[in-house]
Amino acid sequence: MNPSRKPLIAGNWKMHRTVSESVALARAVADTSRIGPRTEVVVAPVFTALQAVAQALVGTRVTVAGQNVYFEEQGAFTGEISAPMLKDVGCAWSLVGHSERRQLFGETDASVQKKLFALRKHGLAPIACLGETLAEREGGVTYDVLRRQLDAMTASLDAQEATALLTGLVLAYEPVWAIGTGRTAKSSDAQSAHAFLRDRIRDRYGEVADTVRILYGGSVKPDNAAELLAQPDVDGVLVGGASLDAAGFARIIQAAG
């Protein structure tokens, strides 16, 4: 980790836990985690539990994220949740472009950009996910995929608009082949991908690259978190299954210092 960027540990609970179970987990995370003075911790419960979890975490060092957002503010969009609605129930963050949204629900690079705009407009902080599939990795096009997904976030923006969007942005690199499979990218592989993303931003937009935090997500566990977090361009982790265990998640948080 680079000391100029605050470590961020995010837990994506995916489609797990009822409201009461989510509140209990959130309280356990807040109560048992030794959160370093500079470390930020975020949890992303299911939509039905967001308000209850946010209320349970008032006064703690843990904040709340949505797992997804729609880019319109309101309207005839059955099943969708807008940025103002996330903010209304206590969210400070939202994931966008998670690999499962891309793979299972047809999310596109263009829709990810619209969601980024919506979150920024309403003062919510995006965690924008990107990463390659196993076929893409084996095909040797990892960096082509990352370049395409990253560039799409600032497509059609001028340099000033792009810099504003990128300032303080959080990216999450998720090699899709390592999510929920038990396979984890080597720390050196994670560092290479993160450095590529940061260098791409620097080449196009300059020093704003140093404000962008890049998380690693893909079978992060207590026993591999410290090695991943030791890499200079890994600014935190996006944790899936391991974030459902408060004690294990607390160990990951502690690894951030």
Active site residue 122: no
Q: How far apart are CA 32 and CA 154, in angstroms?
A: 39
Q: Cβ distance 191 to 217 under 8 Å?
A: no
Query: Is 194 a catalytic site residue?
Result: no
Locate 140 and state its tokens.
């040797």
Half-sphere exposure of 256 (CA within 13 A, CB side): 29
Q: CA torsion 247→236→242→143, rounded to 10°? A: -170
Output the CA torsion 134→127→116→194 (10° steps): -50
Catalytic hit among 98, 100, 132, 136: 98
Catalytic residue among 107, 122, 174, 194: 174
Instruction: State how far the Cα of 208 lies from the Cα of 161, in Å rounded to an integer.
Output: 12
Catalytic residue numbers read: 98, 174
